[in-house]
Amino acid sequence: MILPRPTVASVLRLLLSLAIALALLGWVLPRVTETTWGDMVGVLRTVPATALAACFVFTMAFLISYAITMRASLPGLTIPKALTVNTAGSAVSKLLPGGGAVGLAATFFICRSWGFSAGAVATSAIVTGVWNTLSRVALPILAIGFLALARPELPAVLRQAAWGAGVSGALILALFLGIIVSAHVADSVGRAVDRLGGWVFPRAHRAGRAQAAMSDARAQIIERVREAWHWLTLGMVGFFAAQLAIFLIALHVTGIQLAFTPSFAAFAIGRLLAGVGITPGGIGITEMGTAAALVALGADPALSAAAVVLVSIFTNLIELPLGVLAWGLWSLDPQKQTFQAERATHAEPTGRPV
């Protein structure tokens, strides 16, 4: 198995998304916050080394927390291997044409090399994807509830985020429950994924592959959710709690003084926007939305810009070098298996490494 080859269309989509991210960060963010990149860099230079070290510690904490969720979704996966596949897949999705689709392909590629069955990996991807998305959409809803208790008037950006999160969360939950309850829904979702795969990777995609995997994975999805929902949830709570700690540190060291409730609201909007796939990892869109929320809640615009850049370094950009390191470690892993060996043994796929 090899990763899909990039097409002209996928390369153009990558270049376009990168151009959008650079325009948002380089031009729009300074104009909206009425500052310059020189001023932002000046603020960032004042950040003490202890704060940077603390942010790095919390970065490792949220990566380990997400590894717990991945381990719960794929029995037999260890925490070190979950860290490897998560960071490698994230780096690939940001660096290569195809974005999240290539990241998902990389995840399949690495997990299959360790002997996991296609159905088990598909189950893991679906379950972690749903838990991740539902957690992101739950944050603004929770934040709007906190703010409603503290403030009679809510900024329009927060109301819109709460409505958008509520609607999208309901749709995702309904789709997930539909896959569990109805084989017909699972089959329809598989066909839709096949059509998407054919559009993204017209040369490498095999027709009907996702549809077959979805049908095979449905029973495993039900089993995984029933047996591991608490570990799945605990991992996501730790994931966002560590990222919130980084966000609060960034606000403190840049001089922004906001109460916890509005700070949490701005953080929630940023985490929701991080899932937007227009740019790699939501870069640019996340910073714009978070800065706008901070300003709407009373923070200084220039300091808000510096704070969101600092947060982005530790919650987004740091995955690039870590992902490259993960690919290197995986390539040197003496225990990784090959598909030729798997075929030679004719072992029954169990979803666990052999």
pLDDT of residue 267: 92
From the list 253, 242, 201, the residue with the least C-alpha distance to 50 is 253
pLDDT of residue 159: 65
CB within 8 Å of 150: residues ≥ 6 apart: 259, 261
pLDDT digit string, tens, across residues 77-108:
999 999 999 998 888 777 665 556 667 778 88
- Can you give the residue ranges of every domain in the chain? 10-332
pLDDT of residue 244: 96
| Numbers of helices and strands, H then E, in the chain | 15, 0
CA distances from 353 to 1, 114, 118, 163, 225 (A): 17, 6, 12, 43, 20
pTM check: above 0.85: no
The parts of the chain modelled with pLDDT lower than 70 are 1-14, 17-18, 95-102, 150-166, 168-169, 173, 193-217, 275-282, 333-354
DSSP 279: S
Q: Which amino acid is at 345?
A: T
DSSP 313: I
